[in-house]
Every structure is written in structure tokens, then in C-alpha cells.
Amino acid sequence: MNYCDLHCDTPLEVYLRGTSLHDAGLNVSAQKFGKFQKYVQLAAFCPPEGVSDEDGFRLFKRVMENFKKEVLNICGTVCTADELASSVKSGIPAFVLTAEDARILCGDINRLYTLRETGVRVLTPLWGGVTCIGGSHTSDEGLTPFGRDVVKECFQTGIIPDVSHASRKSAYEIIDLAITFKKTVIASHSCAFSVNSHTRNLTDEEFLGIAQSGGIVGVNLYPPHLKGHEADVSDVLEHIRHFINLSDVSRVALGCDFDGMNVFAKGGEDVGCIPRLAELLTAAFGKEAAEKILFTNAYELLTEHIR
């Protein structure tokens, strides 16, 4: 089967463990993703809580360089649509680098260019609290002037902005900027607020704005986002169904958040569980829709927008 996932936190996990992608203890490991016929994984760096913005930027460079070396031992990272298409056509697993929590820019737009030069093609500007970028889902603040400049420069440099973790105000501002500049925005790992009213989940208005921009939403498997308590992997179906009913199946994908969760939905503990989830998706929505959710929607968006 084919699989394209919009978010994992494996780069930092590999670095902190001092391990490799062959480590079976990782949620995303070579043994597990090597079973897919076509496999694309967006892999994020997010600075740990308690790490300063400046130290976070320095850590970003160390973590991503380490991860690129690890990935090279198995396949490779891709930075352009042509590289991605070539890897997928050859059946070679492909990793696209992303960054989460742009507080590490520390008010310096030049650091955004460093992220791009490193290979970052998706940026999640916010994560928690209020930063130089603006307010996250734990606040009522919107984007700062610098945050707005970062989003606009993402459009210019070919980095896709990601509204996951943003406050309502920040998310609406990012979406409005995307629509104004005729660009695309995504939510790489977010569920539906109408199904479970967690502040990290997307309102219907946010989802429809993302869809209007030509973007997609990767639904995650984090139990507090799925149900607010212990969850089963099948609980993801209700969130997906809700989004499909708002628009259509072309706007939905998966961004499971592997190697970034401290609790797991039963039956959704790692990327090796995706074939079982594929069975559930096929039973619920049909084979063609399941393939779009599992691979086609995310893959086509990436091949259209990364460069």
C-alpha cells in the first residue's frame, strides 16, 4: 500500500536517543515504513519546552543535519517536487523536512532562509504560548507584525505555512493571508473541533478556509484531540467524516504525529499500524477515498507546491 503522512517528530527523537531510523523503538522506523510500496513522510523539528529561542535555533541545525545523515543511510530527503516524484516512482521512501514553532527565528527573517537552505518546506509557525510569531492555541493573541512577515515570506520562498497549534486569531490571519496572496496553507496534524472541542482542533470555519486556499488537513491520532480521553484508532473516522461532509475527500489526509505523542490511540501506536487503519478507512469510505486520504491528497499537494 501507499502512504503519505504530513507530520511526525522523529528527527528530534532520533537525536535525543542517539539512535538511527533502524531503531524499532521509534514510531517511525525503517522496518515499519519499509513495508509500504510508496512512502512519503514529513518530518518536523520542534524545540523542546524549556529550551530558549536562541538555543532552539542552534539545536534545529544540529538535529536536522543529524537526521539528514541518518535518512541518507536508507533513502534520502527531498526538497523539490521533481525529487519527490522521482523517489516515489522508484519506490524509495522520501522524507520532507519541516519545522515547528518558529520562535527559533528570534525576530530575524534571515533565519527563515536558513531553514529553507536546510531543506524545510513546511513551517508550523506556532506551538505554545505567545512568541515573536504570535499566539498559539493556548492564547487569544493573533500574529505579530514579524509573524505576518514570516508567513508572507514563506509564500515567496516556497515554504508552506501550517496552522496547526495556532490560536483562532492567528489561524484566521494566516488563512486570510494565503487567500489574499493566492497561496496554499495546510494544517498538518489537527482534528475537528466540532467532534471534540479541544483548543488544538480546527473549527469548521478554519477548515473551510484551508480548503478555499487549496490546502488539506492531516488528521492526527493523539487521544486528547480525538476524544479528550483514551481513544481507539477507529475514533479518527468521525473526524475524517466530519471534514469530508464539510467539503469533500480531497481536503483530508493524515498527519499522525508519530514520535511526538506521550499517549497513543489503541491500535495506532506507530506507522506499522497504518495498514489496519487503511482497512477501517476502506470499510468506512470506500477504496478510492481511502487511497486519497492515505496518500494521493497529500502527495499531490506536495508535488504541486514544494520547490
pLDDT per position as a tens digit, 114-148: 999 999 999 999 999 999 999 999 999 999 999 99
Residue 280: predicted pLDDT: 98
Residue 175 and residue 193: Cα distance in Å, rounded? 17
Count of CA atoms in the C-beta half-sphere (13 A) of 164? 31
Interval 189-234: pLDDT, tens? 999 999 999 999 999 999 999 999 999 999 999 999 999 889 999 9
What are the tens digits of pLDDT across the range 267-297? Answer: 999 999 999 999 999 999 999 999 999 999 9
* Number of Cβ atoms within 10 Å of the Cβ of 51: 16
Average pLDDT, the chain: 97
The pLDDT of residue 45 is above 90:
yes
Q: What is the average pLDDT across 51-74?
A: 96
Exposed, middle or buried: residue 145 (CB in 10 Å: 0-12, 13-18, 19+)? exposed
Contact yes or no for 188/150 (Cβ under 8 A)? no
What pTM, to 2 d.p., does this model score?
A: 0.97
pLDDT at 109 over 90: yes
Q: Over 90: is that where the pLDDT of 173 sits?
A: yes
pLDDT at 156: 96
- pLDDT of 238-272, one tens digit each? 999 999 999 999 999 999 999 999 999 999 999 99
Mean predicted confidence (pLDDT) in 173-195: 98
Burial of 262 (0-12, 13-18, 19+ CB in 10 A): exposed
Cβ-contact 39, 94 below 8 angstroms:
yes
What's the grid cell of residue 307? 520547490
Alpha carbon distance 137, 109 (integer Å): 23
pLDDT at 15 > cutoff 90: yes
Contact 124, 165 (CB under 8 A): yes
- Estimate to the nearest angstrom the gap between the alpha carbon of 303 and the chain centroid: 15
Q: What is the pLDDT of residue 178?
A: 98
Q: What is the rounded CA–CA span in Å between residue 143 and residue 123? A: 15
The residues spanned by each domain of the chain are 2-305
d(CA 170, CA 147): 9
What number is the average pLDDT over the span 66-85?
93
- Candidates 225, 164, 166, 224; CA nearest to 192 is 225
- CB of 57 closer than 8 Å to CB of 50: no
Q: CATH assignment of 2-305?
A: 3.20.20.140
Give the pLDDT band (50/70/90) at residue 183. very high
Calpha distance 283→181 (Å, rounded)? 39
- CB neighbour burial string for 112-144, b if at least 16 within 10 angstroms, e if fewer: beebbebbbbbbbbbbeebbbbbbbbebebbbb
% of the chain surpassing 70 pLDDT: 100
Q: What is the pLDDT of residue 73?
A: 86
pLDDT exceeds cutoff 90 at 76: no
Residue 32 is predicted with a pLDDT of 96
